[in-house]
Chains A and B, each alone.
Chain A
Amino acid sequence: MPATRSSSSARRRSTRALSPPASPGAASVPAAVLSPEEASSGSLAAAPAPAPREQAHDSEGPTAFVVLTTYFAYAMLVLMGHIRDFLGRMAGSRYRVLNGVKGYAPLLQDWENFYTRRLYHRIQDCWNRPIKGPPFSATMEVIDRRPVPRTYQLEPTEKSGKFLNLGSYNYLGFADDWVESCRGAVMKAVDQFSVSSCSSAVDIGLTSLQTELEANVAGFLGKEAAIVYSMGYGTNAASIPALMGPGTLILSDALNHASIVNGARHSGATIRVFRHNNPAHLEQLLREAIVAGQPLTRRPWRKVLVVVEGVYSMEGEIADLKPLVRVAKRYKAYVMLDEAHSIGALGKTGRGACEHCGVDTADVDVMMGTFTKSYGAMGGYIAGSKELIDYLRQNSSGSVYGTAMSPVVVAQVLRAFEIIEGRDGTDTGARKLQAIKDNANYFRSRLEDMGCELLGQKDSPVVPLMLYNPGKIAAFSRECYKRGLAVVVVGFPATSLIESRTRFCISAGHTREDLDLALERIEEVVDLLRLRYRKRWMG
């Protein structure tokens, strides 16, 4: 299923439900950095959500009934899949992999492809829905699709309808008021520059607009310098390999995004994963790493980088930054913070997770973020010391080989910054920032009142609602679709097997009426699918 997270890292419930062994490092030596309650809550067995307690939604996890029915459903799906495969092999199939090409090893191997073939394709209409026009918060136009006969594909039809958008990352609603807020600046850039420089930033891709944006990003975050890249995914994938290499250690949160995972893999550094949002486990791993050194050679690690995200996109959880950064600093590890979902959406002035958690940006060595979400554009940035940015400019593949950011997109981001910082002379930015917070909290509290099982915390613009059973993934999406709601559902492998969920992304562009309407319809679906897991053991 379309995933925004790698399969291996998505094991949220398992980290919580399994009893982690009491950490030996923390046990033998008093935890120097964490206060007693912090240390105990993180490392003790079966502790509840390790995030800030006052905010955390204290999830109890699924009941035994839910777990058993979910596994049963998957078992049935697998069984039916095998029967279909068997028949397909006998009678010929629309899947080429089942028919085989003589002499070649199958391009898609059976066991890799089975899941796609027999589980994903049954409910693929829940993803990749094409839209017409911009992702408006209230009136997004979604195009209907129909299956193409004798294939497994869907094709768009002429029909389309207006939907309430609960799926796009349009956090500050720049897609909604684009004509008033950003159009002028963007169109000017089209005239002055071209749509693309078709060149890397070290050749002639660097425009005067881009240098302005880089200075702006640095100033916004209180860092010395910044560099921007054309693609958010590429920002992580290109800069981590430039900084880390063999003999270095990357400590990565269990739920980090695939771009971090791929960047870390490509760097050649050793990767160790600490439990999601768990400073105590991070401390334990750091102690072990420094005391024991590298495996086999026993030499000390050259350097250690701790990588966390500001808001985890599939969980809506805000990083417990303060203790995480304190632990990292205590052990002289460097900190990299990925603010893809938090920059422009969290904090009083939109400065992200650092502002929200009260952490000085000076303590975060590498600040990373993207312009896709809050800024209504595309691309990503790295902000840090001048030395770091100068180095990345010359030594990261995104800067040397990648296409530079389109000047038009740069203009959009610059304009969005102007509005967020209030430099345009209006209070639009401040209103947007207040609206996203109010909307998200209102939506979350109403869903909580319904008795649904939610993840994440207050103030987070991402509100995931647990579905568990695989059948409910498609049912939820289709029922909402019938009722004019465009929602995002995710299942394995983006989450662990039983933790299928739907994820609402709230926008500043939603009005209270939009949300009330949405909640009313969601409540119908919740009743239909029995999703009140917090109230009833059978949902």
Chain B
Amino acid sequence: MALRIAAVLAVAASVAVLANGQSVPGAATKAPAASAAKSNNGDLLAGLLASLGDWVKPADDFVQTATEYGKLMSGTMTFLTSPSSVYSEIVGMPRRAEDAWAFAQRKPLEAATRAIIFGIIIATWFFTKPKDVIRASGLTAAQQEDLIEDWEPEPLVPRAPRGTYVARPATFVVREQRVKTVLVEGRDTELLNCASADFLNVAGDPETKRVAKAALDVYTVGSCGPRGFYGTTDAHLSLEAALADVIGCEETITYSDATATVASAIPAFAKRQDVVFLDDAVNHAVQTGCTLSRCKVVRFRHNDMADLERAVKGECGSKRAPPSRRYFIVVEGIYANRGDICPLPEILAIARRFRVRTIVDDSLAFGVLGKRGRGTAEHFGINPLDVDITVASMATSLGSVGGFCYGSDEVVDHQRISGAGYVFSASLPPFLCATAEAALRRFTADATVCSQLRDNARTLRSLLELSRGRLKVVSSFEESPVIHVRLSWHSDRSVNDAHRIEEARADSEDPESLTRWKYAPRRSRPALRRFQGVEDDDLDRVVAEAADRGVLVARSRYLVSDKLAPANSIRIHVSAALTNEDLQKIAVVMEEAVEAAFEARDPAAHAAPARADTLRKRR
């Protein structure tokens, strides 16, 4: 009996929701009750159901009854007044009252049908209690014990399939760091540092060290708390104000880790119902942000504006899309994995045309591009605030740790409450804020250091391109401070090409020719991985040979789970302090190192994955 009352209540609630949507066109004021504001949709319903379910059980004492009553009332109230996040989730109705009203006017019959279906769903939910899986299985206690005894979990550390490549640990342990050189353990000579992203050579600069020491004496090391709970010092405020001043916006927000910045900024705005258009070459942190936001991700081909327009048109043109759905184009300014620049003006034009917002990860361009070093937007002569949300790392040109984000004050303020990496993490140690601010002031006061860096990048790239050898510069933006270099005897594929082959098959004009490979991709993954191991050996050898000759470069490394990782390469970071002699040395050393690696390679190993090559040719 009690259960039925509960069910009737629920049906009534669902009808009321529809009524709410239909009868009050201007009902945006009927926004949610307090608890709906933050709880996510699933929890809302679960919470309501739980409170109903428990309410009908005899309560123990008065206190509990009162608690339950309060819960029931607040739950019901929430449910009735919220414009049906749950409802829209289940029957695909628009989320906001205005949208629901518009929908109901357009298709009254369908709206009514959906309401009824919703009621039925709720009712069934109530009458079918969640099954007790163990009892339903009918297993006796002894049988259960046997099952438990039999179960053997996989080891905690996932084992790579037999014969596949396992990455090796880092080769270099730094024992002393100087402005443009480092000393590593096991080597006596100084190495030119072309591996760290400290493009303006500020991290090891004596002036920076002076600032750091002064700040340490004032603030000590840690801030001992998140920003909300006395972890905000005047050093943080001063850095945020200085950044805002340089960029020309009202406010900026700083995070204590670079990768956490973009991985928090995207989910703070993009939610489950929203759509993100993602460039096919973005770095892992951006991908993490998209995964955590649980929104729909539509990928477009790297820097392909026609493909972006097609994707945007396909999504935004849909009549079924509710007006409250938000769309974001997510790109990088300079792509960390490729070294090329995004065509920002074209992207913004498309974004404006289709009313899509833009998110740009400008980590590698901030402090590098533009007259005053303000990044990609300035490079193209665009106001940085035309991009809705920009994030950048402070571990590049600012020579510090952490990241920051800017946009309208709405964008910044919302993250102070909803950016997971901001709210749930301790704040950046104040001395790192002080050094970042000092670095910022230095390059904005005198931007010749930025143009020097760009000149260096251009020079080194042309030197490397001139070198006749087995060294292949990955074509990219000429002023990019990141230069990827590949080896001519390597093919252009990565582990992820297994996926791409699968996609290519679907696109292929002659699918018959590929049917033989129908199940190949999954099987060929270990082969590709093994093959990548061979390539990595070569790259490691190049790195070691270069270090022997006094230049420290890094091999790009990607997680196996990084779906958008390109083929492995040698990554050279250019910095402003490098002189012409240094640049020439780097070019010569790289050429020699590649030759040495070629001599030492294992030809037999390279012959092994020929099958995949054949596949590529067939395409």
User: Bound pair: A and B?
Assistant: yes
Q: A287-B144, A291-B147 are in contact. Are A332 and B39 (CB under 8 A)?
A: no
**B355 / chain A contacts, CB cutoff of 8 Å:** 103-104
**A362 / chain B contacts, CB cutoff of 8 Å:** none
Name the one of A2, A291, A393 contacting B226, with C-beta atoms under 8 angstroms.
Answer: A2
A170 at interface, CB cutoff 8 A: yes
Name the one of A46, A191, A243, A257 contacting B157, with C-beta atoms under 8 angstroms.
Answer: A243
B292 at interface, CB cutoff 8 A: yes
> In the docked arrangement, what's the CA distance between A305 and B30, Å?
43
A503 to chain B, nearest CB (A): 8
A132 at interface, CB cutoff 8 A: yes
**A179 / chain B contacts, CB cutoff of 8 Å:** 217
Q: Let me know if B134 and A28 touch, CB within 8 A.
A: yes
B403 to chain A, nearest CB (A): 9
**B73 / chain A contacts, CB cutoff of 8 Å:** 71
A479 to chain B, nearest CB (A): 17
Q: Can you give 29 A-B contacts (C-beta < 8 A)?
A: A2-B229, A14-B71, A17-B64, A24-B135, A67-B67, A78-B33, A85-B31, A105-B324, A107-B269, A107-B357, A108-B410, A143-B234, A169-B426, A186-B221, A190-B216, A197-B203, A230-B401, A233-B256, A233-B426, A259-B420, A262-B420, A291-B147, A387-B157, A388-B157, A391-B157, A391-B158, A398-B259, A486-B230, A498-B70
**A57 / chain B contacts, CB cutoff of 8 Å:** none
Q: Let me know if B426 and A378 touch, CB within 8 A.
A: yes
A75 at interface, CB cutoff 8 A: yes
Q: Let me know if B260 and A135 touch, CB within 8 A.
A: no
Binds B, one of A348-356, A401-409, A432-440: A401-409
B74 at interface, CB cutoff 8 A: yes
Q: Let me know if B218 and A4 touch, CB within 8 A.
A: no
Closest chain A residue, CB of each to CB of B257: A231
Closest chain B residue, CB of each to CB of A537: B63
**B57 / chain A contacts, CB cutoff of 8 Å:** 19
Q: A130-B236, A196-B432 are in contact. Are A18 and B559 (CB under 8 A)?
A: no
> In the docked arrangement, what's the CA distance between A499 and B224, Å?
25
Q: Let me know if B148 and A331 touch, CB within 8 A.
A: yes
B451 at interface, CB cutoff 8 A: no
Map CB proximity to B onto A182-209 as digits: 1 under 8 Å, 0 otherwise: 1100110011111111110111111110
Chain B residues bordering chain A, tally (CB within 8 A):
155
Closest chain B residue, CB of each to CB of A65: B66
Q: Let me know if B176 and A192 touch, CB within 8 A.
A: yes
A493 at interface, CB cutoff 8 A: yes
> In the docked arrangement, what's the CA distance between A173 and B15, Å?
58
> In the docked arrangement, what's the CA distance between A457 and B224, Å?
22
Q: Let me know if A197 and B174 touch, CB within 8 A.
A: yes
Q: Let me know if A89 and B29 touch, CB within 8 A.
A: yes
**Secondary structure class of chain B's binding surface, majority of residues:** mixed
Q: Let me know if A129 and B230 touch, CB within 8 A.
A: yes
> In the docked arrangement, what's the CA distance between A522 and B74, Å?
32
> In the docked arrangement, what's the CA distance between A198 and B198, Å?
6
A375 at interface, CB cutoff 8 A: yes
B227 at interface, CB cutoff 8 A: yes
Q: Let me know if B257 and A332 touch, CB within 8 A.
A: no
A312 at interface, CB cutoff 8 A: no
Q: Let me know if B234 and A132 touch, CB within 8 A.
A: yes
> In the docked arrangement, what's the CA distance between A497 and B37, Å?
12
Closest chain A residue, CB of each to CB of B193: A204
Q: Let me know if A196 and B410 touch, CB within 8 A.
A: no
**B166 / chain A contacts, CB cutoff of 8 Å:** 394
Closest chain A residue, CB of each to CB of B430: A134
Name the one of B31, B177, B283 contacting A194, with C-beta atoms under 8 angstroms.
Answer: B177
B357 to chain A, nearest CB (A): 7
> In the docked arrangement, what's the CA distance between A375 and B192, Å?
34
> In the docked arrangement, what's the CA distance between A291 and B150, Å?
10
Map CB proximity to A onto B251-280 as digits: 1 under 8 Å, 0 otherwise: 000001111100100000101000000000
Q: Let me know if B135 and A28 touch, CB within 8 A.
A: yes
Closest chain A residue, CB of each to CB of B60: A46
**A478 / chain B contacts, CB cutoff of 8 Å:** none
B421 at interface, CB cutoff 8 A: yes
**B435 / chain A contacts, CB cutoff of 8 Å:** 195-196
Name the one of A129, A199, A365, A407 contacting B156, with C-beta atoms under 8 angstroms.
Answer: A365
Binds A, one of B298-306, B307-315, B411-419: B411-419
**A401 / chain B contacts, CB cutoff of 8 Å:** 259, 283-285, 559
B607 at interface, CB cutoff 8 A: no
> In the docked arrangement, what's the CA distance between A140 and B231, Å?
12
**B414 / chain A contacts, CB cutoff of 8 Å:** 107-108, 113, 116
A371 at interface, CB cutoff 8 A: yes
B616 to chain A, nearest CB (A): 27
Q: A120-B417, A243-B158 are in contact. Are A86 and B50 (CB under 8 A)?
A: no
A451 at interface, CB cutoff 8 A: no
> In the docked arrangement, what's the CA distance between A128 and B225, Å?
11
Map CB proximity to B onto A366-396 as digits: 1 under 8 Å, 0 otherwise: 1000111101111000000101101101110
Name the one of B167, B197, B413, B429 contacting A394, with C-beta atoms under 8 angstroms.
Answer: B167
Q: A395-B559, A403-B401 are in contact. Are A135 and B195 (CB under 8 A)?
A: no
Closest chain B residue, CB of each to CB of A136: B220
Closest chain B residue, CB of each to CB of A104: B355
A326 at interface, CB cutoff 8 A: no
B96 at interface, CB cutoff 8 A: yes
Q: Let me know if A64 and B153 touch, CB within 8 A.
A: no
Q: Let me know if A111 and B82 touch, CB within 8 A.
A: yes
B18 to chain A, nearest CB (A): 17
Closest chain A residue, CB of each to CB of B57: A19
> In the docked arrangement, what's the CA distance between A142 and B230, Å?
8
Q: Let me know if A376 and B221 touch, CB within 8 A.
A: yes
> In the docked arrangement, what's the CA distance between A152 and B216, Å?
33
B323 at interface, CB cutoff 8 A: yes
Binds B, one of A215-223, A296-304, A513-521, A525-533: A296-304
Binds A, one of B3-11, B204-212, B524-532, B592-600: B204-212
Q: Let me know if A290 and B221 touch, CB within 8 A.
A: no
Q: A133-B218, A201-B170, A265-B292 are in contact. Are A2 and B558 (CB under 8 A)?
A: no
